[in-house]
Amino acid sequence: MRTVAIVGDSRGIGAALREQLLDQGVRVIGVSRTGVQREGGEHPNYQSLVFDAVEHPCDLSGFADKLDGLVYCPGTIKLKPLRGLKPEQFQDDFRINVLGAVQTLKANHALLKAGAVDGAKPGVVLFSTVAVQTGMAFHASIAASKGAVEGLVRTLAAEWAPDIRVNAVAPSLTDTSLAASLLGNDAKREAAAERHPLKKVLGAGEVASAAAYLVSEHAAGITGQVMQIDAGMGAVR
């Protein structure tokens, strides 16, 4: 049985990914600050760990002999003009989006390496944003930290080849609790949808499906890529 760890599986994209993988027969180790009580009750292939992976390195060697995939979901959405951003804002975004991912990957590299047997190529998935490749006002802090995530993805894809694959998903605004203030009423939701060529706001399940694919065996030939899931915003006018 394949084993995938999801850091940040208590809500949003991480929660949607957890359920998709469980439905596919994958064993899932979920890590979150609050733990998870699944609506469907306990699942024999799911283990929820309460741990703050941003503040402390999350070593999963006590819970698995190998990892076939690792997905790091913690992120931030704090949009302000540059004049309103303090250095602490940039530091906080970088700590959550980049340093948390770095220490998680370092702590679990041996488990990913252990999964690279008999031709298997374990996959790592991180999250960027459409705002890195598409200049968007008020995104200075989050685009800066997510730009670092994309650089990390390409560097580790080269460093960890040929055994471990490293990719990212770069969504546009997604309907999760993290984006609640940006989608808080019908007018905001309609305006957000209108900015996308496909005239829609992404659902968490749509973005999670991209991550599920990238950690699967079907994506064994993909590494160093940033997959845009953005309803056309980054490429279509």
Cα–Cα dist 65/36, whole Å = 23
- Model pLDDT for residues 1-22, shown as the tens digit of each residue: 999 999 999 999 999 999 999 9
Token pair 């080269």: residue: 158
Cα–Cα dist 209/190, whole Å = 24
- Model pLDDT for residues 31-87, shown as the tens digit of each residue: 999 999 888 888 999 999 999 999 999 999 999 999 999 999 999 888 899 999 999
DSSP secondary structure letters along 170-232: EE-SEESGGGGGGSSSHHHHHHHHHTSTT--PEEHHHHHHHHHHHHSGGGTT--S-EEEESTT
Phi, psi at 59, each rounded to 5°:
-90, 115
Positive or negative CA dihedral for 192, 175, 98, 115?
negative
| Structural domains of the chain, ranges and CATH numbers in brackets | 3-229 (3.40.50.720)
Contact 160, 152 (CB under 8 A): no
Q: Check whether 204 has a pLDDT greater than 90.
A: yes
pTM (two decimals):
0.94
- Model pLDDT for residues 145-186, shown as the tens digit of each residue: 999 999 999 999 999 999 999 999 999 888 887 777 777 777
